[in-house]
Amino acid sequence: MRVITYREALREALQEELRRDERVFLMGEDLGYYGGAFKVTLGLLEEFGEARIKDTPISESVIVGAATGAAVVGCRPVVEIMFADFIALGMDHVVNSAAKMRYMYGGQATVPLVIRAPQGAGTSSGCHHCQSVEGWLLNVPGLKIVLPSTPADAKGLLKAAIRDDNPVLFLEHKLLYATQGEVPEGDVVIPLGKADVKRQGKDVTVITTSAMVGKALKAAENLAAERIEVEVVDPRTLNPLDKQTIVDSVKKTNRVVICHEACLTYGPGGELAAIIAEEAFDYLDAPIQRVAAPDIPVPFSPPMEAFFIPDEKRIIQAVRKTLS
């Protein structure tokens, strides 16, 4: 199977969906002539023109508001927010317009809107450009939250998101854009709400998303040398959430570590832990462990940022704690 980058997989998904459905269009800051802040949309303007690849003013509120209106009247906009942190500037339309419109109209209106946004630390860009924002959004009914970890998932999930009739927040970790992986050719769509077991194991379940998946897999490789078999489960979408795959894994291994780059307190790991406690408590042989970022703004200093970001060492420590 061919190997391409995460960035190329996203671009391919956008290109295929633009060709497939004339209602799809892209809008955002610098995504046309400049090709996007992370070059995901490079070359699309030349093929599809300004009518479908729209550079916008620097106003996230205007971008999300206009895209929500376009979605309600029958278009399928894909918005790029330059950094996920800036979703805060369009949060009124995300939370009070896009997320609620279908409910308020009793299902008669749909909001097929995708908001793509790079997030995550590791580039020393400071606390206004490096946050992981899924925790902000998971408490809002009506939003779907996607965090792809591989190029194949990035392409398949983005195609599914564009075809969905609900608003989807598609969160891409900045450190993944240059990563490579096998991606099947053709119209391969990965359903939202279907987890993927990235590695089979019998001793401990590690549940994780986005860039943390790669770290969990490396930690699992290191632990395998000690004959500790870690199962790595990637939910891929946090809403809708594939509870069954998670619960089935916990029932098999009886021990759980939950990892994410979002801050620990009120992060997605807390909800995952609650679900496991409610639906698989009797299968647990040890307390659930969480590995997450500390409750501080993302530091600018590279050494401090490195301390902030959860790593393989902390995952290994958490796994060993569940086994002790």
In this structure, the answer to whether residues 263 and 172 fall within a common structural domain is no
Residue 60: strand, helix, or coil: helix
Same domain for 177 and 207, yes or no, is no
- Domain assignment present for 226: yes
**Same domain membership, residue 112 and residue 31:** yes
Euclidean distance between CA atoms 109 and 116, whole angstroms = 22
Residue 83: predicted pLDDT: 97
Residue 299 in domain: yes
Q: Indicate whether 25 and 172 sit together in one domain.
A: yes
Domain span at residue 122 reads: 3-182
Q: CB count, 10 Å around CB of 141?
A: 10
Distance of CA 77 to the CA centre of its chain: 18
Instruction: Look at the chain and report how many structural domains it folds into.
Output: 2
Q: Is residue 297 part of a domain?
A: yes
Answer whether residue 54 is part of any domain.
yes
pLDDT digits (tens, 9 = 90+) for 150-203: 999 999 999 999 999 999 999 999 999 999 999 999 999 999 999 999 999 999
Which residue, of 153, 182, 211, is where some domain finishes?
182
* Residue 268: partners with Cβ closer than 8 Å, 6 or more residues away: 134, 135, 138, 209, 238, 260, 262
| Residue in 185, 135, 131, 134 with CA at minimum distance from that of residue 159 | 185
Q: Tell me the average pLDDT of the chain.
A: 97
pTM here? 0.97
User: Would residue 279 be called left, alpha or beta, if left means φ above 0 and alpha means ψ between -120 and 50 degrees?
Assistant: alpha
Distance between CA atoms of residues 265 and 274, nearest Å: 13
Are residues 16 and 158 part of one domain? yes
Query: What pLDDT sits at residue 101?
Result: 96
Asked if residue 171 and residue 126 are part of one domain, the reply reads yes
- 112 plus 259 within the same structural domain: no
Give me the active site residues, please.
Answer: 129
Q: Are residues 136 and 9 in the same domain?
A: yes
**Separate counts of helices (H) and strands (E) for the chain:** 12, 14
Residues 216 and 285 in one domain: yes
Q: Are residues 178 and 200 in the same domain?
A: no
Residue type, 270: G
Q: Mean pLDDT throughout 110-115?
A: 98
Q: Above pLDDT 70, what percent of the chain?
A: 100
User: What integer is the mean pLDDT of 80-102?
Assistant: 97
pLDDT of residue 203: 98
Confidence of residue 1 (pLDDT cuts 50, 70, 90): confident
Q: Is the domain of 145 the same as that of 269?
A: no
Q: pLDDT band for position 255 (50/70/90)? A: very high
* In a domain? residue 256: yes
Any idea what the CATH number is for the domain that residue 248 is in? 3.40.50.920
**In a shared domain, residues 242 and 275:** yes
Domain-located, residue 191? no
- pLDDT for residue 113: 98
Query: What distance in Å separates the CA atoms of residue 36 and residue 225, rounded to the nearest whole number?
Result: 42
- pLDDT above 90: residue 148: yes
Residue 135 inside a domain? The answer is yes
C-alpha–C-alpha distance, residues 165 and 112, integer Å: 4
Residue 309 has pLDDT above 90, yes or no: yes
DSSP secondary structure code for residue 86 in this structure:
G
Going by pLDDT thresholds of 50, 70 and 90, the confidence category of residue 89 is: very high
Q: What are phi and psi of 246, to 5 degrees?
A: -65, -50
The answer to whether residues 28 and 79 touch, using CB atoms and an 8 Å cutoff, is yes
Structure tokens at 267: 């992060």
Answer with the one of 182, 214, 245 that is the final residue of a domain: 182
Percent of the chain predicted with pLDDT > 90? 100
Classify residue 51: in a domain, yes or no: yes
CATH number of the domain bearing residue 47 = 3.40.50.970
